[in-house]
Amino acid sequence: MLNSIKLVTRQNTPRWVVLIIDLIISAISFSFACILTDVFLKSIDISISQYLTPLGLVLTVRLIAFRITRSYTGIVRYTSTQDAVRIFLALAISTSILLTGELIFEFNSNFMYINPAVVIIDALIAIFALTGFRIAFKLLYTYAPFKTLGTQDLIIYGAGEAGIIIKRSVERNVRLGKRVVAFLDDNERLHGKTVEGVKIYSPEIDLAQIVKNPHNVELIIALNELSLIRKRRIIERCLQHKIIVKSIPPVNAWINGEFNLQHIKSIKIEDLLEREPIKLSKKKISSELKNQVILITGAAGSIGSEIVRQCISFEPKLIVLVDQGESPLYDIENELAGNKIEIVVGDIRNLARMEKIFEHFKPSYVFHAAAYKHVPLMENNPYEAINTNVFGTQNIANLSSKYQVKKFVFVSTDKAVNPTNIMGASKRIAEIYVQSLNEKLKLESDQHTLYITTRFGNVLGSNGSVIPLFRKQIEEGGPLTVTHPEITRYFMTIPEACQLVLEAGVMGQGGEIYIFDMGESVKIIDLAHKMIKLSGYEVNKDIKITFTGLRPGEKLKEELLNDNENTIGTHNPKIMIARVPNYNYLEVNSVIETLYEQKDSLKNDVLVKTMKKIVPEYISNNSIYEKLDV
């Protein structure tokens, strides 16, 4: 793949200028050849007029040879071995033509038009002059004092072909004001060696030894196969030294195999939080989803839209995208045009509308991602949280059974564990209903819809998450707002979350709650510090951090399991099953009906009090509903 890589750069010196300079050098070398032949060999004594005619012939032949070999097309200040080879070929071709022509002319006319000694000496002088000109210009460009003023030192991690291509591309863009001062590479055999005049060092070297100004340095990671642990360590080290870190996409992501400087992107906070990718049972997922009708609610949201994208690769018969958001549905329709999708604008709370959709499309798999998820908003609007997260889920779950859906996968949240807010409690009630419905159907028939729940933490980059908020605040110059200095959260990427949903949908046998190995929870204040540094700013100097206090319903630390739950392992070490209490469907349905009857009263205290009865572990935090816990 790398053999086909091209550089997309801007040539600053016109080719015709280089060609003219080469012809001038050729004329000078011919003159020296004539003089040297006359002085040392005493073989010729010509006048100016006798000199000009052979010179015209020599320059004409050289011009033809230069055009054939295109020796003038290389940018002079980046002369390489390839340029020297082209010059050698051009001189070899032109000298051969001149000598052959002279022998033919002398044989036929018995007259020497150009002394062969002049032609040979001219060729020797020209090859040194032409290559010497290029080398001298390159050295002048590289080491000239005026060039180093105001430049930024650039370090490239990875001395392979991709790293060399980045170096050449950067150097060809003078306006960038960057100068490659070092390569870093893990290969010990390369340490101490040079690539195109730039030395290769161990990644463990003190960077102060190779850069003039440690506060004016940029490091580009040019190794895509770098392990996540190693990559994270490099980034953390650079952040400590206030070094800006950037990276390039995989080679197969370069458009038409061409590298463009625009491919170089700043490292994102996701790169510090990501883990080794989950290994999906793609063969099994494909065998289940291929040629099936899949219905996805909340399909225009962060999670729902990614589920759609991933499902497309498994060649389903049709994917039905259901969402009430008109504009985001329009966007995803344009993005996925040409795929087997059907866009449906609809509200999961509208039972009649949803039934028509199930009746018409008859889905085999349902991924239910539609929900209200913003904690502070739902704390002030419990009616909407209950109506969508509880009764909307109930609608889709019941219809899945009625229309004999094979599997129903419910997207839940870690906020449903020991909930402290309306949103988390509403999702926990939905979890309970889905599980109890699965137990009821299991007792009634062996052939029934399998209900599966997935539960995970905060999703990086999803709508309303802290990462986009921090990015926006950084762009505006700050400050970054953090609710509490000790607040922590689990994080996963959108693709990770959706992989969990798909994997659970395949392995689930009904009634399980799948949770993801989220690793260590992350302090939000540390996240803010790193995002500021990754943006090239200094914390509390360029951009400040302010503490705003916990929001209504917010808790300091999220949990994946409550006190009465533990886990069972699966074939995938990253995915576990939460062991939760079983619930009787009749009892659950009865209390949910009570909640349904109360919802239209719009009396928040009444609704929340009933929610607390359904979910006894729901204890409000930093909320007006704490009074109901007394």
My answer on whether 27 and 132 are in the same domain is: yes
- Answer yes or no: is pLDDT of 286 > 90: no
Is there a domain that residue 233 lies in? yes
Using 50, 70 and 90 to split pLDDT, how confident is the model at 345?
very high
- Answer yes or no: is pLDDT of 48 > 70: no
User: How many domains, the chain?
Assistant: 3
Cα angle: 304, vertex 285, 277; to 5 degrees? 70
My answer on whether 186 and 46 are in the same domain is: no
pLDDT value at position 260?
A: 62
My answer on whether 246 and 327 are in the same domain is: no
**DSSP category for residue 153:** E
- Answer yes or no: is pLDDT of 120 > 70: yes
Cα angle: 458, vertex 460, 464; to 5 degrees? 75
Is there a domain that residue 560 lies in? yes
Average of per-residue pLDDT across 198-202: 86
Average of per-residue pLDDT across 441-455: 89
pLDDT value at position 470?
A: 86
Is there a domain that residue 44 lies in? yes
My answer on whether 313 and 363 are in the same domain is: yes
pLDDT value at position 451?
A: 95
Strongest mean pLDDT among 15-19, 60-64, 410-414, 514-518: 410-414
Is there a domain that residue 277 lies in? no
pLDDT value at position 433?
A: 95
What is the share, in percent, of the chain residues with pLDDT greater than 70? 82
My answer on whether 434 and 541 are in the same domain is: yes
- Answer yes or no: is pLDDT of 395 > 90: yes
My answer on whether 310 and 348 are in the same domain is: yes
The tokens of 379 are what? Answer: 């704390």
My answer on whether 217 and 120 are in the same domain is: no
How many other β-carbons are positioned within 10 Å of the β-carbon of residue 259?
23
More confident residue, 307 or 137: 307
pLDDT value at position 258?
A: 61
Is there a domain that residue 272 lies in? no
Residue corresponding to tokens 């580009």: 220
My answer on whether 516 and 424 are in the same domain is: yes
My answer on whether 398 and 455 are in the same domain is: yes
pLDDT value at position 143?
A: 56
The tokens of 554 are what? Answer: 């917010």
Average of per-residue pLDDT across 362-377: 93
My answer on whether 294 and 311 are in the same domain is: yes
**CB-based contact 204:157 (threshold 8 Å):** no
Strongest mean pLDDT among 327-331, 515-519, 567-571, 596-600: 327-331
* Alpha-carbon gap, residue 322 to 269, rounded angstroms: 31
Q: How many CA atoms lie within 13 A of 444 on its CB side?
A: 11
My answer on whether 152 and 194 are in the same domain is: yes
Of 143, 162, 178, the residue that ends a domain is: 143
Q: Are strands 480-482 and 458-460 parallel, antiparallel or unpaired?
A: unpaired
In sequence order, the 6+-apart residues with CB closer than 8 A to the CB of 505 are 285, 288, 365, 367, 407, 409, 452
More confident residue, 461 or 590: 590
pLDDT value at position 316?
A: 93
Of 212, 237, 267, the residue that ends a domain is: 267
pLDDT value at position 279?
A: 64
Mean pLDDT of the chain: 81
Q: pLDDT digit string (tens) for 409-424? A: 999 988 888 899 999 9
Average of per-residue pLDDT across 545-555: 85
pLDDT value at position 393?
A: 96
pLDDT value at position 277?
A: 59
Q: pLDDT digit string (tens) for 52-88? A: 777 778 888 888 888 888 776 665 555 667 777 788 8
Whether the pTM exceeds 0.75: the reply is no
pLDDT value at position 252?
A: 58
Domain residue limits at 399: 282-625
Helices (H) and strands (E) in the chain, counts: 21, 24
Strongest mean pLDDT among 51-65, 152-166, 202-216, 606-620: 606-620
Of 117, 143, 169, the residue that ends a domain is: 143
Average of per-residue pLDDT across 5-28: 67
My answer on whether 134 and 245 are in the same domain is: no
Strongest mean pLDDT among 4-18, 207-221, 400-414, 488-502: 400-414
Lay out the sheet containing 178-184: strands in order across.
Answer: 194-195, 198-201, 178-184, 152-157, 217-221, 244-247, 265-266
